[in-house]
Amino acid sequence: MSILLINGCIYNAKNENNATYGKPINFTTYTDSEFNISIEYPADWEVVQNESRISFILPKKSKDGYTTLNIQALLSIDSGGKYESTENVVSDLMQQFQEKTKNLRINYKRESILGKSKGKELNVSYTLNDVNYTQTMIIAKENNYFYALTYFSPSAQYEEYTYTYIRAKNSFNSIGTKI
């Protein structure tokens, strides 16, 4: 399964201590036995799941689209998938960016932590359908899976909800081996 973390629909974020809509932000924990994860996200965001991705969507759409948090579980080569390392996942992702976007800029690529696992974090800016986007993702291996957490937003709102990505990244927990 190929990953495509470039979404056609988008969603938004702000400093963790700040409020949105003039109210304090309440977080809740999403637990999923199919993906074998738990993760914290803003309680008023919509949750949409398909077979390969869980999306957390800010209910307030901007003129350029939505802001989202997404998590994917990708099989490692040990479990019948195609990825051997986080670098393989990042390389695949970069190829997709180059093929599907314009004005791609890598803002940073660094080692980071997703929950309790070391991973690669990447922040990029690009143009898609004449809208500028900024996206941060971290890919980390846990058991036989690579988990990819992505925060995606129109660039104009990117900073507003960045705290949701930080909270999700820090709260991520793999709760067992996926069957």
86: left (phi over 0), alpha (psi -120 to 50) or beta: alpha
Separation of CA 73 from chain center:
11
Q: Which residue has the higher pLDDT, 61 or 131?
A: 131
Positive or negative torsion for Cα 35, 38, 39, 40:
positive
8 A C-beta contact, residue 31 and residue 165: no
pLDDT value for 33: 85
Q: Which tokens sit at 179?
A: 């069957």
* pLDDT over 90, % of the chain: 68
How far is the C-alpha of 30 from the C-alpha of 28, rounded, in Å?
Answer: 7
Give the angle subtended at the CA of 140 by the CAs of 55 and 105, to the nearest 5°: 75
CATH number of 27-174: 3.40.1000.10
How far is the C-alpha of 88 from the C-alpha of 76, rounded, in Å?
Answer: 10
Q: Which tokens sit at 71?
A: 């998590």
Which amino acid, residue 104?
L
pLDDT-derived band at 121 (thresholds 50, 70, 90) equals very high
pLDDT-derived band at 176 (thresholds 50, 70, 90) equals low
Share the mean pLDDT of the chain.
85
Bridge partners of residue 73, in order along the sequence: 147
pLDDT value for 20: 46
pLDDT value for 11: 33
The pLDDT tens digits of the residues spanning 40-84 come to: 999 999 999 988 899 999 988 777 888 999 999 998 998 899 999
The pLDDT tens digits of the residues spanning 1-44 come to: 444 444 433 333 333 344 444 446 899 999 988 888 999 999 99
Q: Does 113 have pLDDT greater than 80?
A: yes
